[in-house]
Structure 1
Amino acid sequence: MAITEIMKAAEARAKQMGLPYEGALLPAEAYQLLQSAPGAKLVDVRTRAEWDWVGRIPGAVEIELLTYPGSRLNPSFLAELERQVDKEVPVMFICRSGGRSHNAALLAMQAGYTACYNVLEGFEGDKDAQGHRNTRGGWRAGGLPWVQS
């Protein structure tokens, strides 16, 4: 799928979901944009513990939205984002399953980022019938690149 088609689909999805930011991407779409859209950045907002124990996405900008332990808002989130990501490029946010990345996209949009996208399903996806992640949706289950320590 071409970049323009992906962005149009993401924008339509966001509009349908009532989201105020630019778009909502599926993991495979986010990967395609990361590979093809000039300057596009993927920002992984999970915690350090998740990166270390669950896995990392090669090339992603890693900035905790919430601290671990404690799950408190990282007071330097926006400063770190502004230091590492230009406000004019497409910026895609990913977390475990899409909740924190939604909040990160909102914060970035309010801070002046012009093309914010949430990666739906996140890195691990939703739980399956047995309560397990990584089997239904998400970056990992989609066979996209990731590494584990």
Structure 2
Amino acid sequence: MSEPNATPSAVQSPDLSPIAPGETTAGSLPDSEVIELPPDFVLPTGLAAISILFLAWNLLAALALAAFSAFLTLQAATLRLLFTATALDIYRGDKLIRRFPYQDWENWDIFWYYLPTLFYFKEVKSLHFLPILFDPKLLRACLEAKQLPKRRAWQ
């Protein structure tokens, strides 16, 4: 996957049981595998449900939440996150749109543990916040398996 627009090959989706913080060891996921995170529609579905509840109070807020939910659903359906041996790659369809080499990562976190909605990571030059549109347990397992430094943003 040295070419920026290369199509991923040999993508694996390992079967993982529920993972609590600190439960995953570096040996849980092989370093040589390319792991694609499956989409998770919990966040967009939850926002759609909340937008229905908002219909009783504020139509404009309900429409805004419904539009945001539709946007997140589209993103979850079209974006793909792949953990490779050297980087986190983000694809839209078969086109690589961004590569984040692990060597540039300073720390990461998933907010909030019981209701994962936001994935944060900091590179040497920038911060990134991504909504959790992918399997949060597999995301945590991949991050811990790569032994990337984890630090809570508020500490």
TM-score, scaled to structure 1: 0.26
> Which is greater in Rg?
2
Greater strand fraction, Structure 1 or Structure 2: 2
TM-score, scaled to structure 2: 0.25
